[in-house]
A and B are shown apart, each in its own frame.
Chain A
Amino acid sequence: MLLHDIYYDYLAALRQGDRRRALHITRSALNEEVDIRDIYLEVFQPAMHEIGRLWETNEVTVAQEHLATAITQSVMAHIYPHIAVRPPIGRRVVATCIGGELHEIGIRMISDFFDMEGWDVFYLGANMPTDDVVQMVNAQQADLLAISATLNNHVIKARDMIKAVRASPRGAKVKIIVGGHPFTKTPDISTTIGADLTAPNAREAVARVQEVLA
């Protein structure tokens, strides 16, 4: 089955709010040896974007959008055991997102991608206070901090968070990657607000971070 067909099936399940079907479609794809990374990037991510676009054009309600988010989160949790995790490589990443739980899926994908590469992932939920993020980065002696921001007004909060982390003991050592809609649109803001790098998707994020830390 082509990834594109899986995407359409999955999107239809999301639009119908059918969690079981969404899970079934994903499991069948995994059984057919489709790479879990491709499912993340070619099915989940575009499907969630499409749901967002349908809301924008008044074709789905925010309640349906919430349900789609919940379904995808649940599916991701269910298929977690299918993730073939590489042996630990001794690197640690702290991951967090600015904005509510509705915007969490992106950073969860990033977490899973780093997990697959053998990183120790410390996932902080949405809307984590800056102090907690700083504390976690230092307590874990993190090699990387990943921040996702979905809306333009999140960028200021991301900048403040980066500033606080840089001022902490681990600040000089930790690399900071930012991602999300505002940075995909204008990648240059990432360096303006003090981040080391940005990436348009989870696969690129892993590749670029490994390049920087190599």
Chain B
Amino acid sequence: MKNEHAHNGVQAVTPHDPRFLDILTDMVLWCADDGTITYANTRAQSWSLTHLAGQPLVSLLLPDSTGKGERFFEAARRASPQQPTPPWELMLGTSEHYTSAQFYGYHDTDHIVIVGHAEPAHVGRMQQELVDLTSELAETHRQIRRQNQALQKALDEQHQLLDTIQQLTMPAVPIWERVLLLPLVGYIDSQRAERITSQLLERVSTARAHYVILDVSAIADIDTAVARHLIGTAQALRLLGARPVLVGISPELAETVTTLGIGLHEFVVQSDLQHAVAYVLRRLRKG
């Protein structure tokens, strides 16, 4: 510490050669015993808009640093040139653009010498930028989590709604003696297709149905898995002695079926429900 002073030239200088003090990159201040600045070199003065001489030392500091600045001055007052204070970190500038500086000080005969070295401005800016970034990141993080919670809630509600719709779907309606109508509505996935099939087979067997009309005109979308399932259902119906009649095939379903390379020979195919009913009634009368 002692060598550092010699290096900075602080011990060697006196108030009588102020030009030498003014070319130093360190801040050099002399204070009276009550903390009033009696001298400030150019570097120290550059940190203040008002003339520092006559002001209290803490006026040089950021308001955040006032309390700490007073404690530092107390320590400097008790320190000697041979054993100055350890470095104290104090803040300069404004709350928005502050710079931290290392100060040390000691009591020399009738005044207190304070020497300070501000860190390069970009270090402070970098630190501030980092805090800002962390703050933004943390806030974004929280917002995402908040949104996820809201989405999860919306999703749960949607699932409940879907469950309700599935429960509302009638498996099969008897429209004539031994004739069941199965209107398929909405989106059908493999799971739903399986459930519909098992319910349908149950109904067919208890109603001893001879004909089952499957209306697929209101189905949103049929993928190959569901198309295969339909074929399987038709086969099962045949085994139970019921004849499946398919109506409402959309161009998309027709395409899916041809792509699959499976024939619809298990089904009697009719263009719409009216034709299907007419067909079934004709067959029943004949039968």
Contacts and interface: CB of A to CB of B under 8 A. Distances in A.
Contact of A61 (B89, B135, B137): B89
Contacts of A76: 138, 142
Nearest to A69: B131
B131 A101 contact: yes
Range, interface on chain A: 20 to 34
Contacts of A70: 130-131, 134-135
A81 B89 CA distance: 38
B111 to A, nearest CB: 23
A104 interface: yes
B72 interface: yes
The listed residue with most B CB atoms (<10 A of its CB), out of A62, A76, A123, is A62
B81 interface: no
A99 B134 CA distance: 16
B160 interface: no
Contacts of A78: 141
Given A100-B128, A101-B135, A153-B63, A62 B141 contact: no
Contact of B96 (A66, A100, A125): A100
A73 B134 CA distance: 8
Interface string B90-123: 0100011000100000000000000000000000
A127 interface: yes
A56 interface: yes
Given A62-B89, A151-B63, A77 B138 contact: yes
Interface residues of B, number: 30
B149 interface: yes
Nearest to A74: B138
Interface centre among A61, A73, A78 (most CB of B within 10 A): A73
A102 B145 contact: no
A191 interface: no
Contacts of A115: 146
A135 interface: no
A49 to B, nearest CB: 14
B98 to A, nearest CB: 8
Nearest to A123: B139
A85 B145 CA distance: 12
A81 B130 contact: no
Contact of B88 (A58, A69, A101, A151): A58
Contacts, number: 79
Interface string A29-58: 000000000000000000000000001111
Nearest to A78: B141
Interface string B241-278: 00000000000000000000000000000000000000
A126 interface: yes
Contacts of A66: 127, 130-131
A214 interface: no
B208 interface: no
B64 interface: yes
Contact of A81 (B64, B132, B149): B149
Contacts of A74: 134, 137-138, 141
A85 B148 CA distance: 13
Nearest to B75: A58
A76 B138 CA distance: 8
A80 interface: yes
A73 B145 CA distance: 15
Contacts of A127: 96
A101 B132 contact: yes
B125 interface: no
A58 B65 CA distance: 11
A85 B142 CA distance: 13
- Listed from nearest, the 10 A-B pairs whose CB atoms lie closest are A77-B141, A70-B134, A101-B135, A77-B138, A73-B138, A80-B145, A62-B100, A56-B68, A101-B131, A58-B88
14 contacts: A58-B68, A58-B71, A58-B89, A66-B130, A73-B138, A77-B138, A77-B141, A80-B141, A100-B128, A101-B128, A101-B135, A102-B131, A123-B139, A151-B64
Interface of A: 55-58, 61-63, 66, 69-70, 73-74, 76-78, 80-81, 85, 99-102, 104, 115, 123, 125-127, 151-153
Interface of B: 63-64, 67-68, 71-72, 86, 88-89, 91, 95-96, 100, 127-128, 130-132, 134-139, 141-142, 145-146, 148-149
Given A70-B130, A80-B141, A85-B149, 11 more contacts: A58-B68, A61-B89, A63-B100, A66-B127, A73-B138, A77-B141, A101-B134, A102-B131, A126-B135, A151-B64, A153-B95
